[in-house]
Structure 1
Amino acid sequence: MFRRIRYTKRFQEILNVLFKNGFSHILFRVGLSGRRPVSGKQEVGDMNFQDIGKKLKNSMQELGPTFIKLGQIASSRRDMIPMEIISELEKLQDDVEAFSFDDAKDIIEEELDNSLDNLFLDFNEEPLATASIGQVYRAHLLSGEEVAIKVQRPEIEDKIETDLSIVRYIAQVLEERTKWAKNYHLCNMVDEFSESLQDELNYNAEGRNADRIRHQFKNNPDIYVPDIYWDFTTEKVLTMEYVKGIKINAIDQLAAEGYDLELVTDRVADAMMKQMLEHGFFHGDPHPGNIYIMPGNQITFIDFGMVGRLSQELRHNFASLIIYLNQGNTKGMIKTFTGMGMLSEEADHAALTRDLDRLQSQYYDIPLSEISLAEVMMKVFRIAYKHEIELPTDIAILGKVVLELEEVLGKLNPDFSIMSGVEPFGKKILRERYNPASLAKRGFEEIVENARILSDLPQQLKDVTSMIKRGKLRVDIHVSDLEVLLKRLDRISNRLSFSIILLSFSILMVGLIVGAAISGQTTMIWRLPVIEVGSVIATLMFILMIYTIIRNGRM
């Protein structure tokens, strides 16, 4: 009952703010509000994306922590949201009221099951920083270590849950009743943003992220990640080593104190490239407040609430896109998009080819060191948005990280190009992709997968036959999809045929080798040594399979 009342009250608050900021026309049109728009007032339907972005930013800022955080997360999705709106959402600030020390004290004592006096030698009641989800304090443990303690806002989880359910409902209504919301897959967008926000509510997960990235640099003293004190950490309280350093954007102070700005730039870039392209697990929010410079030009990263993940396949595809762009290979770029499953069958390939041709012509044969990676990625995102290419979330986070890095590091060293940092890692990824060991591993995985398909085939045929007998098999084929379906069936049949031949030949060869070993005689047919000839044929078949993998990325 109480939850329903709270939901209704908050729902009305959200509608009132949206109504006040010029969204009344669309709310009335889709049935979310019974109030008619005020005549003469500028409405969303009459505005361009820039104006809509400003109205949306003002609404989110007024609606508080959940919406501020959602807007900040949404600003990373340049492939899904118009750039004019993105530029406004990026201005959202954690301009929220601090909660009281008494509330923070109650949360800490409840979470750590002890009194503050028994937990800490001293505790500064003034927060170091206040954000939309939590607040940071400074203290000393009883053992003497100086720590920073992040405390989650009181009841923020319930408030965020209520807000997200309301936002999801509004998105669902809009998607059902407006074409633009359906085209932009608004519900999927909200679900994705909600998942990212809920991940940031778990401070245990943030602590594990920090440990994982610290492990990446365990043998590199130039990169530092503060320790997490797990005995003083829960889902709502995070206790970490306190960092004393200079923020990376305090350029005048760094220069005055004798820091090597060029070396700092190279170390930050190399550390981020290593996270992204070597380990595939990286800091997702490297803004200036999260990077500190310590004595000896040591780089310290903090705040791992947002992280990105790149699978080995995604890393290879990212490197391929950069190389294809530099080579002017539009077909290669489209092939990479298709291989990543980002290009729908309905996409206009001719129009996409034209846009990519125009893009690559701007960078063809230009040294990678002279190309702005952030600029390239923003242009790729615009093309993706235009052609409704669904980029993986982590590629979007990667784009946000690259943009932030180029902005921060460009101020430290105006001659720096992040491409010069990406190039060696990209080449290394491609070399690893096509070295004999990797090819052999993928070839073996293909054989195992095909063998699994073969073993499942009798049961699947039996199931289909049973369904046909019961009259429950439904076939629904649109003529527009027929060519695509036939191509897929042709590819499946080729894989099955190749697997059957290779498997049968392997069994035959094993039988001949075992027979020859038992009898102690050489197997000859028409004066030809069967085992030796068979080995050559098997080798050629294996080479053919490897060639197919290299050419298509799969069989």
Structure 2
Amino acid sequence: MIGKHIRHIKRYQEIVSVLVKYGFGYIVKDVGLFHLLSLPRQIVSDFSGNGNDQKSLGQRIRLMLEELGPTFIKLGQLLSLRTDILPEQIAEAMRGLQDRVTPINAQSVKQIMQQEFGTAVTDVFAQFDEQCIAAASIAQAHHAKLITGEEVAVKIRRPDIESVVENDIEILWDLASLVEKRYEWARTYQITDLVEEFSLAIRSELDYTMEARTTEKLYDFFKSDVNVIIPKVYRDYSTAKVLTLDYVHGYKYEELINRPPKDVSNKIICERLVRSFLDQALICGIFHGDPHPGNLFFFPDNKIGYIDFGQVGHLNESMKRDFGNLIIGLMKGNTELLFRTISTMTVMPDDLNERQLKGDLEGLREKYYRLPFKEVHIGKVISDVFAVTKKHHIGIPKNYTLLGKALITLEGLITSLDSDTNILELAEPYGQRLLIRRLDPSELSKKILMNGYDVVENSMRLPSLLRKTLTHLYKGKTRVEMKLPQLEVLLAKLDRAANRISFSIMLLSLSIILASIILGETFGSRSLITNVPIIGIAVTIVLFMFMIVLLSIFRSGRF
């Protein structure tokens, strides 16, 4: 940790200063980063956290993340999905995070592309527009035309963004571990696991070979569906830092709302939008994680197009089954199925109150049981499920929260386009298909065979594992690990108490020394050093030592 402080000391100081600026100085002090502030800031800043306007908490967090730059903006965008952790008003504020960046100049863009392709831009593209069509904190896009004539969009990663992100991730790991040691809620929600999830997500977003692979999978999945357009990836013109795809341009979402074209039916568009998304999630197993209006295009004959697959979710067969079970459990009023499904698809805390959780799930069941699909809104269902999991400190894996957020976004879009379209009504056939597939004899036989194989495999390993365990016990090599989550807090309190005792002793010592000097000068015999201002010198030395100790205690942040 000390090494990280030294390597990134300037960035640490910047982050700590911004935390204090937006009213989170008490966290800085609690986790022991007080000493990174300048002395004037230490003196004038409020570290109590009592003077903050709680109503503006979400706004302050959003402004703070925007000021800290691209890594923290991306972190906020991830956290905006986590309504299982954050209050809805804070998550909502996070969704307003903006990438306020200046586009890379044309010369830098050409230099990056020349490094990636090993040749000049003019040798690769017949036409390349220097003015970017979109700019964000990680990349920007340009319109171009290949020598073979295809119209393309070229996505270029910003220079040095990888080192910026990697440095910030190291600091985030450090901060997360400090916060977990200090706060119970941080341990409950496993903040370090959240940072790990975030680091994997942003690293994959930085690598365009992964986005290219995902886009190609969905392109192949929809290639026989003329009503869904996924841009083609041009591999020969793409690298880890540059991604070249078909240039997709059609009607924007705002046009469908404000100036509906005559060759487009909003009702058909909504149905195809929902079905294409459910096809991605529940059949293909890869879905667009951010289907907001900027990532969608619409075409004559009610065709739809998706762009920008930097943020995607993945559902394997068991995750699809669990998601289906969740909806079936709510619609069929099966509390036991709901409980089993949530147990399977989430991370349950050790101190979970099962009876209370089942009671809350029973409340959800009563709310939605026997309601017609047209009266049930998927966004409200997801929000209610997240509210229950948050109440019981149940961790939801990223892909489920991403799916939930995408469905909520999608429902908002189709409600504005056609209020009669209902996601759950269109999803019912998918649920039935998943149920029929689950009961298919071939699927059941596969499951039985796999479970039987696991039983046999584990049974064969049992003797060797038992022998190894007994050997370790016999040799005294068995290690017992104990977790004492409050130990760091206790040590901090002891450190604070020791500092106060030291301060008191220094005050007492100063008083005794001064009293002794004064008594000696007043009643003692005269000597050769009578004319030396001994009281002044002694007081100066003692005060100097006193100030050194006091400053040391003050800078530790534990007084």
Partner deviation per Cα, 1:430-450 (whole Å, 9 max, x = no partner)? 111111111111111122122
CA distance in 1, matches of 2:67, 2:220: 40
| Residue 477 of structure 1, CA deviation | 12
State the match for 1:19 in structure 2: 20
| Residue 71 of structure 1, CA deviation | 0.8
Contact 1:283 1:307 in 2 (8 A): yes
Aligned-partner SS, 2:149: coil
State the match for 2:282 in structure 1: 277
| Residue 268 of structure 1, CA deviation | 0.8
| Residue 463 of structure 1, CA deviation | 2.4
State the match for 2:529 in structure 1: none
CA distance in 2, matches of 1:76, 1:178: 22
| Residue 139 of structure 1, CA deviation | 1.0
Contact 1:247 1:288 in 2 (8 A): yes
Contact 1:50 1:88 in 2 (8 A): no
Given the alignment, which residue of 314, 339, 348 partners 1:343? 348
State the match for 1:542 in structure 2: none
CA distance in 2, matches of 1:399, 1:194: 21
- 1:208 counterpart = 2:213: yes
- 1:101 counterpart = 2:102: no
Q: Which runs of 5+ in 2 are unaligned?
A: 484-559
CA distance 1:50–1:306, shift in 2 (3 Å): farther
| Residue 160 of structure 1, CA deviation | 0.8
Alignment of 1:360-509 (within 5 A): 360-473=365-478
CA distance 1:462–1:28, shift in 2 (3 Å): closer
Contact 1:254 1:261 in 2 (8 A): no
- 1:318 counterpart = 2:331: no
CA distance in 2, matches of 1:257, 1:112: 44
Opposite residue 419 of structure 2, the aligned amino acid is P
Contact 1:210 1:304 in 2 (8 A): yes
State the match for 1:183 in structure 2: 188
State the match for 2:226 in structure 1: 221
Aligned-partner SS, 1:138: strand
Over the aligned positions, Cα root-mean-square deviation in angstroms equals 2.3
- 1:266 counterpart = 2:271: yes
State the match for 1:119 in structure 2: 124
Aligned-partner SS, 1:93: coil
Q: Which runs of 5+ in 1 are unaligned?
A: 479-555
State the match for 1:29 in structure 2: 30
Partner deviation per Cα, 1:36-94 (whole Å, 9 max, x = no partner)? 77779696455576532211101011112111111111111111222221011011012
CA distance in 1, matches of 2:435, 2:400: 18
Aligned-partner SS, 1:308: strand
| Residue 151 of structure 1, CA deviation | 0.6
Aligned-partner SS, 1:300: strand
Partner deviation per Cα, 1:361-408 (whole Å, 9 max, x = no partner)? 211110223211111011111111111111121101101110110011
> How many residue pairs align between the two structures?
477
CA distance in 1, matches of 2:287, 2:465: 42
Aligned-partner SS, 2:260: helix
Aligned-partner SS, 1:296: helix
Aligned-partner SS, 1:388: coil
| Residue 277 of structure 1, CA deviation | 1.0
Partner deviation per Cα, 1:304-348 (whole Å, 9 max, x = no partner)? 001101111111111111111122222221111223353234201
| Residue 215 of structure 1, CA deviation | 1.3
CA distance in 2, matches of 1:475, 1:210: 48
CA distance 1:284–1:49, shift in 2 (3 Å): farther
State the match for 1:57 in structure 2: 62
Contact 2:263 2:300 in 1 (8 A): no
Q: Give TM-score, length-normalised by structure 1.
A: 0.81
Identity among equivalent positions (%) equals 34
State the match for 1:505 in structure 2: none
CA distance 1:44–1:380, shift in 2 (3 Å): farther
- 1:231 counterpart = 2:232: no
CA distance 1:40–1:455, shift in 2 (3 Å): closer
CA distance in 1, matches of 2:448, 2:388: 34
Contact 1:281 1:307 in 2 (8 A): yes
CA distance in 2, matches of 1:136, 1:118: 19
- 1:199 counterpart = 2:201: no
CA distance in 2, matches of 1:134, 1:396: 25
Opposite residue 117 of structure 1, the aligned amino acid is T
CA distance 1:174–1:348, shift in 2 (3 Å): same
Contact 1:28 1:37 in 2 (8 A): no
State the match for 1:545 in structure 2: none
CA distance 1:475–1:195, shift in 2 (3 Å): closer
Moved more, 85-94 or 73-82: 73-82
CA distance 1:461–1:179, shift in 2 (3 Å): closer
Aligned-partner SS, 2:403: helix
| Residue 212 of structure 1, CA deviation | 0.5
CA distance in 1, matches of 2:27, 2:473: 49
State the match for 2:507 in structure 1: none
- 1:133 counterpart = 2:138: yes
| Residue 237 of structure 1, CA deviation | 0.5
Q: Give TM-score, length-normalised by structure 2.
A: 0.81
Structure 1 consecutive aligned stretches of length 4 or more whose deviation exceeds 6 Å: 2-6, 36-40, 474-478
CA distance 1:44–1:263, shift in 2 (3 Å): farther
Opposite residue 63 of structure 1, the aligned amino acid is L
CA distance in 1, matches of 2:141, 2:7: 28
State the match for 2:79 in structure 1: 74
Aligned-partner SS, 2:23: helix
CA distance in 2, matches of 1:89, 1:380: 20
Opposite residue 417 of structure 1, the aligned amino acid is N
CA distance 1:210–1:40, shift in 2 (3 Å): closer
Opposite residue 459 of structure 2, the aligned amino acid is L
CA distance 1:41–1:368, shift in 2 (3 Å): same
CA distance in 2, matches of 1:106, 1:311: 41
| Residue 468 of structure 1, CA deviation | 4.1
CA distance 1:321–1:227, shift in 2 (3 Å): same
- 1:302 counterpart = 2:307: yes
State the match for 1:150 in structure 2: 155
Opposite residue 118 of structure 1, the aligned amino acid is D
CA distance in 1, matches of 2:46, 2:462: 65
Structure possessing the higher radius of gyration over alpha carbons = 2
| Residue 253 of structure 1, CA deviation | 5.7
- 1:333 counterpart = 2:342: no
State the match for 2:11 in structure 1: 10
| Residue 354 of structure 1, CA deviation | 2.2
